[in-house]
Amino acid sequence: MRAIVTFVALVSALVASPVAAQVTAPTYQSATGNTLNAQGVMVLNSDGTNGSLPQRATSTTTNGSVATANTFQSALAANATRKGCAIYNNSANAELIFLGAPGSATAANAIPLPAGGAFNCGSFQGIVLTDQISITSATVASTFVVVSQ
């Protein structure tokens, strides 16, 4: 009887909070003879469903344009709960992106965004940049689109 009570208590504890599970995939052999392994960690919700990526989020799209040439302006405010974002340069002009406040930005430490280029603030590991994102161009009225979640 004691074993059943202990088992019930353990199951209740696991259901009450998410757990991390190490998942190891089978080993595969590539065409060139290399051994390939795949593994990862996934978080399970209390109901047993996958609690890790991807997560659902509603996107907000904002169109913007550079107000003053060679002067950084805010394209996206800092947000500690951001789930993702992308900035698309939909103009014919090169733009610069800086991860931080406009007052700290310089062209030398900015990320070039060519005409038609895009910047994604997320990574395939699930890390999302939450910094303020600033933007500028040498051309007044250079346009961009910001999509954020």
pLDDT of residue 9: 44
Dist. CA 89–CA 66, nearest whole Å: 11
Sheet of strand 85-88, all strands in order from the earlier edge strand to the far edge: 60-65, 143-148, 85-88, 118-120
Q: How far apart are CA 66 and CA 88, in angstroms?
A: 13
Closest CA to 90 of 127, 117, 52, 72: 117
Average pLDDT, whole number, for the chain? 78
pLDDT for the residue numbered 103: 94
Burial of residue 1 (CB within 10 Å: 0-12, 13-18, 19+) is exposed
Average pLDDT over residues 95-123: 94
pLDDT at 149 over 70: yes
pLDDT at 122: 85
Give the pLDDT confidence of 37-77 residue by residue, as tens digits.
Answer: 555 555 555 665 666 555 678 999 999 999 999 999 999 99
Which phi and psi angles does 68 have, rounded to 5°? -135, 125
Element (H, E) at 5: helix 2-16
pLDDT at 16 over 80: no
Give the containing element (helix H, strand E) for 15.
helix 2-16
